[in-house]
Structure 1
Amino acid sequence: MFCVLIAASPAVKAQEGFFTPEEVIKYTPEWKGERFPDGRPKVPDSILDRMKNVTLEEAWATLRSANFNHEYEDGWFVI
């Protein structure tokens, strides 16, 4: 069984195509700006630059105020 999984693994791409563009749009309906061809929002560089200065505590405070109290996943690593 393990050999079959290893043999099939080159054909599998990590997370590519996980959501269709339509699904991405469905799950991000509040975004009113431009989008990439795969449906992801095109966030302006000014917002990304501003987010570089946000502390973890500030980010969690914002999430908790929106009732995202348990939205955390640990142990991610780059393959």
Structure 2
Amino acid sequence: MTQNIGACQGECACSTCHVIASSKEHYLSLDSPTEKENDMLDLAHGLTETSRLACQLRMKRDLSGVEITLPGITQDVQKDI
């Protein structure tokens, strides 16, 4: 069984894939969040200065070494059987 976090499946329509960049430096190396993402982040539990929605992060080679963690509280975890 695996767990997928993100009820909207990457559509930026919920905050269930909330993640936290481990430092301000790591946060600033990511592309800037959109207004829509910031609106959804307002609904996230445990919001921090370096919070992002994982579904909106674009992985690229120059992000090597960036550390992202899950908050202490997650919501709407879906289980695939």
TM-score using structure 2 length: 0.22
Q: Which has the higher helix share?
A: 1
Query: Which has the larger Rg?
Result: 1
Q: Which has the higher strand share?
A: 2
